[in-house]
Amino acid sequence: MRWSETTIGDECFYIKDGPHKSLPDIGKENGGHPFISVRNIVNGYIDFSTARYISDEDYANAIKKCHPEKGDMLYSKGGTTGIAKLIDIDEEFANWVHVAVLKFDKSKLNGIFFENMLNGDYCFEQSQRLTKGIANRDLVLSAMAQIKMYRPPMEIQKQFADFVNQVDKSKLYKISTLQFPCIPG
């Protein structure tokens, strides 16, 4: 199809991971900031229900090292590797070492397309080959940058993103219109 073959490293001007130490959980009820790990990227969502919540000071230090923002890509690099999730929410949070943040030029790469490209077999299989270790699995940032991918023209990426959004709306519609029988009390 003559799409441009490129790499994560060529497409992303920022590839960083979070703090390399565990930070104390002060709890959400104490005004903590969400601090996510790989376990918080679940079924295409960022799930804060099992996130740790860190202090203002720890949060400020964490985002100095790596600052995830809406429109960036999360990419798992420790334990379970090679799972991408576009940050499509407004909530601010910090990320632990096992989650990388990828920042990219949105005029050249559509986030929805990018997420699906990274989660597709072509990129996922590369991430698994580049992951080192057995007990402590790690996809180091320099290896992550080498993962090859395709970048079609932006118009094709936008068409793909529109299709994905329509499918997602259809799924939500079907779920919201399900009729459940009454269960006698």
Alpha helices, DSSP H only, in the chain?
Answer: 8-11, 56-65, 111-119, 121-130, 141-144, 154-176
Structure tokens at 24: 């104390």
Query: For 125-166, what is each residue's pLDDT tens digit?
Result: 999 999 999 888 999 999 999 999 999 999 999 999 999 988
Look at the alpha carbons of 126, 129, 135, 138 in this order and tell me if their dihedral is positive or negative.
negative
Q: State residue 183's pLDDT score.
A: 43
pLDDT band at 2 (very low <50, low <70, confident <90, very high): confident
Measured CA to CA, the distance from residue 133 to residue 143 in angstroms comes to 13
User: Averaged over 54-77, what is the pLDDT?
Assistant: 97
In-domain check, residue 95: yes
In-domain check, residue 181: no
Q: Please provide residue 177's backbone torsions phi and psi, each rounded to the nearest 5 degrees.
A: -100, 5
Query: For 68-91, what is each residue's pLDDT tens digit?
Result: 999 999 999 999 999 999 999 999
Q: State residue 166's pLDDT score.
A: 86
Is 175 a residue whose pLDDT tops 50?
Answer: no
> What CATH number does residue 15 fall under?
3.90.220.20
Domain that holds residue 33: 4-176
Query: How many domains does the chain divide into?
Result: 1
